[in-house]
């Protein structure tokens, strides 16, 4: 059997959700989180329509359609890592479509149920497929550690002192899945931002909110909540993407990452955040046609504070109904 050749050094490697990015970097490849590529596109909404014109049904999650269409205009991304376990079945099908179109698809499976040894094997398989030496992976993980600590500090400046706004928090943490494809440049950006933020006055909000679930696809959510006097001081998944759990061992780091596993690990993480960050309420963002909507009931039952559930479909400003519901929720929480 011929061994599959790893991508050439410096090549861009896309991925459909957060995967152990240390392995990609250790293989001297350029990581591209395809979700970020899609949503950063000023024509993101049009990308969804393009995928529908290409045959994707309307009743499919917009993130999948956006990723597909974004890749069409990036033929330079030849290799795509698909999390075919730990994300969703749409991703699995997307991987097959991309393979049919000639891309190199690399599968990564987050073990379900969560399992340390299996995860360790998956990371080893990924490293072998991309051509990353174990020593290099360990080196990259150690190099990224100060940057990950800076991101934790940035997060603290949101919920402790209010010197970093909810929108800024979201923007930096969401980018930590691929470090904007260039960890060194991203590190400089974070360092400079923290320097500026340290000079700001502390700020308090009459209403402290947390965001639970998939990153919202709305474009003006944070500005609107600020107008209402509510600060978003917690973003569940973007914070998880920044890997706030410190572990010298890479498998252990991704074992404690809650996104790809069961809801119970997420609930424990959410309970801690509600307490530590003194949240007044949670907004559960759900994505149209996403299976994760089913967790809404458990989130409401298990977390002892008011929860507002909103739903978004494709990239757009907030619709009037969602604006009214957010306004009413903040009014109820206002002291
Ligand atoms: S939002 Fe849900 S359905 Fe869409 S890609 Fe993510 S996990 Fe899959």
Alpha-carbon distances of 214 from 174, 223, 288, rounded to whole Å: 11, 19, 11
Q: CA 238, CA 221: separation in Å to the nearest integer?
A: 15
All domains in the chain, ordered by first residue? 12-135 (3.40.50.11890), 144-333 (3.40.50.11900)
| pLDDT tens sequence for the chain (335 residues) | 456 789 999 999 999 999 999 999 999 999 999 999 999 999 999 999 999 999 999 999 999 999 999 999 999 999 999 999 999 999 999 999 999 999 999 999 999 999 999 999 999 999 999 999 999 999 999 999 999 999 999 999 999 999 999 999 999 999 999 999 999 999 999 999 999 999 999 999 999 999 999 999 999 999 999 999 999 999 999 999 999 987 889 999 999 999 999 999 999 999 999 999 999 999 999 999 999 999 999 999 999 999 999 999 999 999 999 999 999 999 999 99
Instruction: Output the pLDDT for position 4.
Output: 76
The predicted structure's pLDDT at residue 3: 60
Question: Is the shortest distance between the CB of 61 and ligand 1 below 6 Å?
Answer: yes
Task: Give the 3-state secondary structure of 32-82.
Answer: EEHHHHHHCCCCHHHHHHHHHHCCCCCCCCHHHHHHHHHHHCCCCCCEEEE
- Compute, in angstroms, the gap from residue 161 CA to the centroid of ligand 1: 33
| Residue to mutate, 87, 92, 238, 260, ligand 1, most ligand atoms under 8 Å from C-beta | 87
Q: How many helices and strands (H and E) does the chain possess?
A: 15, 8
Asked whether the whole model's pTM tops 0.75, one would answer: yes
User: Which atom from ligand 1 is nearest to the alpha carbon of 62?
Assistant: 4
Looking at residue 1, its pLDDT comes to 47
Six token digits for residue 303: 């977390």
- 287 Cβ below 6 A of ligand 1: yes
């Amino acid at each position: 059997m011929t061994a599959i050749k790893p991508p050439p050094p410096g090549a861009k490697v896309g991925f459909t959700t957060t995967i152990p990015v240390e392995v990609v970097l250790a293989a001297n490849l350029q990581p591209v989180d395809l979700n970020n590529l899609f949503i950063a596109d000023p024509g993101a909404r049009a990308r969804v329509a393009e995928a529908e014109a290409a045959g994707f049904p309307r009743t499919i999650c917009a993130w999948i359609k956006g990723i597909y269409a974004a890749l069409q205009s990036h033929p330079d991304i030849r290799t795509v890592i698909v999390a075919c376990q730990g994300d969703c079945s749409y991703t699995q099908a997307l991987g097959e479509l991309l393979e049919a179109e000639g891309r190199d698809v690399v599968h990564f499976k987050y073990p379900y149920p969560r399992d340390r040894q299996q995860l360790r094997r998956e990371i080893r398989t990924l490293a072998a497929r991309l051509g990353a030496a174990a020593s290099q992976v360990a080196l990259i993980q150690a190099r990224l550690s100060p940057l990950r600590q800076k991101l934790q500090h940035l997060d603290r400046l949101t919920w402790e002192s209010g010197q970093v706004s909810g929108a800024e928090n979201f923007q930096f943490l969401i980018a930590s899945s691929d470090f904007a494809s260039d960890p060194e440049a991203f590190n400089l950006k974070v360092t400079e931002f923290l320097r500026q933020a340290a000079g700001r006055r502390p700020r308090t909000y009459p209403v402290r909110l947390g965001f639970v679930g998939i990153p919202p696809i709305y474009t003006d959510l944070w500005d609107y909540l600020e107008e209402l006097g509510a600060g978003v001081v917690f973003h569940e998944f973007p914070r998880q993407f920044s890997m706030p759990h410190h572990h010298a061992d890479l498998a252990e780091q991704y074992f404690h990452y809650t996104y790809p596993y069961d809801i119970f690990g997420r609930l424990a993480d959410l309970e801690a955040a509600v307490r530590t960050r003194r949240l007044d309420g949670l907004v559960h963002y759900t994505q149209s046609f996403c299976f994760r909507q089913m967790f809404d009931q458990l989130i409401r039952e298990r977390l002892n504070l008011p929860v507002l559930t909103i739903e978004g479909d494709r990239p757009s400003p907030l619709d009037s109904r969602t604006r009214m519901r957010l306004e009413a929720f903040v009014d109820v929480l206002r002291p």
